[in-house]
Amino acid sequence: PRAAATLGIQIPRHFLQLKRQHADAAMRWRLGTRALFESAFAAGYTVVNITDDPDQPELLARYTLVPGA
């Protein structure tokens, strides 16, 4: 990630339901978001908020990360 940018990381809104119904898909989400968070944290980002994703609020939530907070 670039240090001047605000980042958004999407997660399934109903992750536990996804995990029960589609364990493989849930694992892919978990591993993918883990990699994104680890990369962002290593670059000095901090999570400042979690909100509905404005593009798909019924499906996704979004973590907002900012550098150096």
Nearest to 57 by CA among 12, 7, 8, 6: 12
Residue 4: pLDDT over 80: no
User: pTM here?
Assistant: 0.82
17-35 pLDDT, tens digit per residue, is 999 999 999 999 999 999 9
Average of pLDDT values for 55-67? 91
Distance, in Å, from the CA atom of 14 to the CA atom of 35, rounded to the nearest integer, reads: 20
